[in-house]
């Protein structure tokens, strides 16, 4: 490969990485604002790991990509589609997830994953 080709391959790779944001692109501060605005704490706890009922999952320290996937699955679950790996049917979480934009979901996932929790080792 000539140097010229090498350069253009590198340029294409660089522009691709700029166009496709890294997955953990969520904004932690904006995510805290989402958590407060929707009052997720009323069930999951102010620290996101002391929930009001043991059946309500802990969120603090969970991997952001898992949280994004779960929240989008609840949102999809508000349609008539049958449950699947990508569709969670839950009346409570579905009602909250539909209030969230994609950006809200990425931000709140970044926030929750940044909190100290019992779910993952950092
Ligand atoms: C009224 C109570 C309530 C509120 C408010 C609430 N949740 Fe939940 N959340 C639940 C319950 C109950 C579940 C478990 C549902 C199930 O069994 O799938 C859950 C599950 C989740 C899960 C899945 C976790 C996992 O380990 O799979 C995520 C993520 C989540 N909630 C995030 C949020 C966020 C973010 C907010 C605020 C936008 C929020 N929740 C507001 C009750 C609530």
Q: What is the pLDDT of residue 25?
A: 80
Q: What angle do CA 40, 107, 38 make, to 5 degrees?
A: 25
Q: Output the furthest CA–CA distance in the chain (Å, rounded).
A: 63
The protein residue with its alpha carbon nearest to ligand 1, atom 27, reads 70
Centre of ligand 1 from the C-alpha of residue 47, in Å: 14
Q: What is the pLDDT of residue 22?
A: 46
Q: What is the pLDDT of residue 30?
A: 98
**Which pLDDT tens digits describe the chain residue by residue (122 residues)?**
555 655 555 555 445 445 444 455 899 999 999 999 999 999 999 999 999 999 999 999 999 999 999 999 999 999 888 999 899 999 999 999 999 999 999 999 999 999 999 886 65
The residues lining ligand 1, judged by C-beta closer than 6 Å to any ligand atom, are 38-40, 42-44, 56-57, 59, 67, 70-71, 88, 90, 92-93, 96, 100, 108
What is the C-alpha to C-alpha distance for residues 53 and 44, in angstroms, rounded to an integer? 8
Q: What is the pLDDT of residue 10?
A: 53
Q: What is the pLDDT of residue 21?
A: 46
């Amino acid at each position: 490969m000539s140097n010229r080709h090498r350069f253009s391959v590198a340029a294409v790779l660089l522009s691709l990485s700029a166009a496709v944001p890294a997955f953990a692109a969520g904004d932690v501060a904006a995510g805290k604002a989402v958590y407060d605005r929707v009052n997720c704490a009323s069930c999951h706890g102010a620290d996101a790991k002391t929930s009001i009922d043991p059946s309500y999952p802990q969120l603090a320290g969970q991997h952001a990509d898992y949280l994004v996937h779960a929240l989008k699955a609840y949102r999809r679950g508000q349609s008539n589609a049958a449950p699947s790996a990508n569709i969670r049917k839950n009346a409570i979480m579905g009602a909250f997830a539909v209030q969230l934009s994609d950006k809200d979901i990425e931000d709140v996932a970044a926030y929750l994953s940044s909190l100290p929790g019992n779910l993952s080792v950092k």
